[in-house]
Amino acid sequence: MPNGKFFRSRAPLRIGLAGGGTDVSPYCDLHGGAVLNATISLYAYASLELLEGDSIVLEARDKKQKVALPLMRSLPLEEPLLLLRGVYNRLLRDYVKEPFSFHLTTSVDVPPGSGLGTSSTLVVAVIGAFVEALSLPLGEYEIARLAYEIERIDLAQAGGRQDQYAATFGGVNFMEFYADERVIVNPLRVKFEYLYELEHNLLLYYTATSRFSSTIIEAQQKRVMEGKSLEATHRLKEEAIRMKEALLKGRIDEIGEILHTGFQYKKQLAEGVSTPLIEEIYEHARKAGATGGKISGAGGGGFMIFYCPKNSRYAVAEALQAFEGQVFPYRFVNHGLHSWRVQ
């Protein structure tokens, strides 16, 4: 194995436009799920340096966390940097077989718990760096599936399935989720003028709060099994289909109403999806001209999106200055995971 070599990767975060929650078991196993999401110009990064010697160094620059561990076949699955440990353990078990020395450095453009799929995107980026360094024969579906298994099975972290596939494939995708953890990614051929209009009108706002998504998702899973939120989840899947049609046919201003309706159903999935602060922010945005919006990810904090028709984005952004959060600039991107060797 070559030493003293650098390898890098990055994977884009995503905005979930519709259907979020239907990609979570047991709902998608029993009824099938559908999600529409789009990747944006905010990223998770990984840099991997292969070393001589007998040490493993894991470092998250954005979190200011760093650990040095002896060379071993299986790293302890504990914090800090649990996700990085999980990726190494799985790749060593299934592909590399012999432990090796390296320094892995990561960062993400947004805070953790933001609702943009940060954890899953980071796992995809880390896998991408190892795939590049070790010349592993893994395609897009295989990388996304591996990332899903590391998070949901190896590390037993509650969550859905869309984030790993969005980060790996990139672009605007309508994703279908079935029993036996089968996933189909359908790239949408959205006309540029439709996508540019959506990008102009869709405001991305960080609430300056974060949350543990696993707690909300576990509550959602329990309610589905009890039948308490089944109808709301069905309707969320229908909203994903409506969103797909609106995007493809250029009925962009319908997206505000679709977001608003979907947010009302999303709040029925579990307690904690919304909070008094989120409701206050949402009402401020609506009064300023937004026709709809939602909390991103599982809910409880992190990012929100607002659909602002015509030129109302400026009034909405000004109204949101009453709170401690901030509007984040972004662009839609059509690429997913990319890795490269540093010459």
Rounded Cα distance between 32 and 200, Å, is: 32
DSSP structural state of residue 229: S
Return the structure tokens found at 27.
């709902």
Return the structure tokens found at 216.
């909300």
CA distances from 76 to 47, 93, 102, 129, 302 (A): 21, 14, 16, 21, 29
Pairing of strands 338-342, 6-18: antiparallel
Rounded Cα distance between 62 and 109, Å, is: 8
Catalytic residue among 54, 62, 154, 163: 163
264 half-sphere exposure, CB direction, 13 A CA radius? 8
Query: Which residue type sits at 222?
Result: K
Beta bridge partners of 14: 39
Question: Cβ distance 212 to 113 under 8 Å?
Answer: yes
Length of the chain: 343
163 part of the active site: yes
Q: Which contiguous run of DSSP H or E holds residue 288? A: none
Taking each helix axis from N to C end, the angle separating 230-249 and 192-201, rounded to the nearest 10 degrees, works out to 120
Pairing of strands 202-206, 303-307: antiparallel
* Dihedral-angle region of residue 213 (phi above 0 means left; psi in -120 to 50 means alpha; beta otherwise): alpha
Residue positions annotated with a catalytic role: 163
